[in-house]
Amino acid sequence: MKIFRTVCPRKCYDACAMLAHVEDGRLVKVEGDPDSRVTRGALCPRADRYVERTYHPDRLLQPMRRVGEAGSDEFEPISWDEAIEWMADSLTRTARESDPRALLYYACTGHDGVMTQFGNLFLSHYGGYSSVYGDLCWPAGMEATRLMFGTLHHTPPESYAHSKLIVLWGKNAAVTSPHQMRFVKEAQAEGTQLVCVDPVRTKTARLADEHLAPTPGTDGFLANALAHVILSEDLHDAEFVREHVHGFEDYRRMVRQYEPSKAAEVCGLPKDTIVKFARRLAAQKPANLNAGFGVQRYRNGGQTIRSLAALQVICGNIGNVGGGFDYTNEAAFLARPYPFKVPAQPRVRQLGPVSQLGRVLLGAKSPRIRAAIIERANPMTQNPFSSTVHYALTRLDFVCVIDQFLTDTARRANLVLPAKTMFEETDVHPGQWHGILQIKEKCIEPPGGVRTEREIYRALAEAMGYPTDQFDLDAEAVLHEVLPAGLSVKRLRKESFDRHGPDHVPFADFRFRTPSGKIELLSTAAEISWHCDPLPFYAPPKESAQADPERFKLFPLHLLTPKSEYRQNSQWGNDPHLNQAEEEHAIRMHPDDCVARGLEDGQEVRVYNDRGAIKMPVRRDEGVRPGVAVVYSGKWLSRDGMSVNVLTSDHVTDMGYGATFFDCLVEVEALKSGTE
């Protein structure tokens, strides 16, 4: 029996540290690494199923070719020689008859790491390609945090023990970051108070000492109203503001208009609740405020994050033990891109934001998109307004998907190539929260005819007459070039690299990499780069009663599509054990909203807007505030018969080119006989 140290590479918040047990060349067990100071020997429900995922009966072990015309769901196995020849011929024809930029290269972070970059090396020889920019997950919040502080830091979880108050705002940490939540609960046990701000009484909210449930998308208004109370009652940290804050007086004037009585109307919370929470936030110092990705999944996402961060600034909760504003960690980018030697930089055409993938593919001209390579992604179900993605992909001449399973996107491909698992190639990976860099050790050989992405692109390069020497680089040599100075793969095998450590206090030196050198409540960069107001003014969600009353009349329910703890987006969606453990797939609504529509608990309903419709049971849930509907994301069309992203909007956030999954209005009605 051999035991390897490894880490989950799903670009998840926690990045579970694991020990992989291998016997006779076969993975037989995974368990949490007890030496990890953050995950401390525990695994999330998904990571606990890695053995079953690696040897899943549906795992692809050889190239597959779709049989029949577009839309056919039948595949047959072919050899690697046939697959590479077909792919090389298709790409050569695309470039010859049109332009290399008629190829879309679409790669996300379903399996993150340094060794996933060889597609870019191949494309540098190909001469060009088209891509999209932005991110589906977190960019509005990242950009907002950078604008205010100059960089991204995250408080070590050990610091929570020194917090008098922890605020989890729009973050269901008990589900999306269970290891972080363990530290929060330990702090609670020692007297720290936990407040959860979320429109839904989530698993985290049920563990909190206080739960505030504002109207979705009004978080920025609520934050500014809290600041109004704090400043009007002189509860702010005047000395901290004077020494370290730029634009305070402009900010003070701005928040005067956000009166608690007005916030009560906009946010749907009692005025007294708002006032008491503001006083509590100012008094219980040090306080930590942790913003989840959910609050920035609206058109106003960046400005909302700036408003939340401003609360910690005016209360002086920056640079002290137990305080901090946490979103994500710049240490998550410890590994640099590999410096490939290329004949020339490829001509890259940026088509548009990733949230509008379907729309930008359909609108691409001169040249139009004719072919696509898709890896580490499942845009057919995971991108917003997914019906446009479906239509755009079916119009292409050739689509190749590299994946471990026949996902919904793979089923729309002409060619599907089997991908490695995390145990079949050495790499490194950091956590998005703690930023600890860990080795992802190769433990087993890929089964059957599976090749790594590096091997796939090497074979393709050889077939097309490109140099292959850099594809033959040893994994350790590649990683050595991208690691921080003084760090090696050999060292990572012995211990992970903890850049900051448990005693780190973000911004303890009060140095901020902003134009003013201070925390910027007033940011001219926001105005110049994103055409946003330099102050964190509130704008309502694009789909809301305030911004579009006519649309609200047609679709009066605000749809939220949060993550499940039993799947990573759509990954693990084919695990029968996790599917059984997962909460029933249903739309959850407040009983009053059900009664108003004549809906019985468990009744089949149609959820719809002008983008699409889905069918599912309805469940009455008093933990969902009135006017809100909740459907967990990540279901498969091929297995579950639906994807909630046919309903979500493909708008773009105010900064960072992010997706607005939560900026979505729907209506629900009883399913009529014969309704599709």
pLDDT at 12: 81
Q: What is the pLDDT of residues 609-648, one digit of tens each?
A: 999 999 999 999 999 999 999 999 988 888 888 899 999 9
When the pLDDT of each residue in the chain is averaged and rounded to a whole number, the result is 94
629 CA to centre of own chain: 21
Confidence of residue 485 (pLDDT cuts 50, 70, 90): confident
Q: Which residues of 44-82 are buried (b: 16+ CB within 10 A; e: fewer)?
A: bbbbbbbbebbebeebbeebbbbeeeeeeeebeeeebee
What average pLDDT score do residues 92-104 get? 96
Model pLDDT, residue 20: 96
What mean pLDDT comes out for the span 63-80? 87
Q: Average the pLDDT over 289-297 and give the result.
A: 96
So what's the pLDDT on residue 71? 62
Q: Which long-range contacts (CB under 8 A, 24 or more apart) does 36-42 make?
A: 36/436, 36/496, 37/158, 37/498, 37/502, 38/14, 38/157, 38/179, 38/431, 38/434, 38/436, 39/14, 39/15, 39/179, 40/179, 40/182, 42/16, 42/178, 42/179, 42/182
Please choose, from the candidates 202, 207, 201, 151, the residue with its C-alpha nearest in 3D space to the C-alpha of residue 183.
207
Does pLDDT of 583 surpass 80?
Answer: no
Averaged pLDDT for residues 578-598 = 92
pLDDT tens figures, 534-569: 999 999 999 999 999 999 999 999 999 998 888 888
User: In order of start, what are the domains of the chain with their CATH numbers?
Assistant: 64-136+346-420+447-481 (3.40.50.740), 155-326+510-530 (3.40.228.10), 549-670 (2.40.40.20)
Q: What is the pLDDT of residues 119-136, one digit of tens each?
A: 999 999 999 999 999 999
The pLDDT value recorded for residue 597 is 97
Q: How confident is the model at residue 674 (pLDDT cuts 50, 70, 90)?
A: low
Q: Which structure tokens are listed for 548?
A: 């579009």
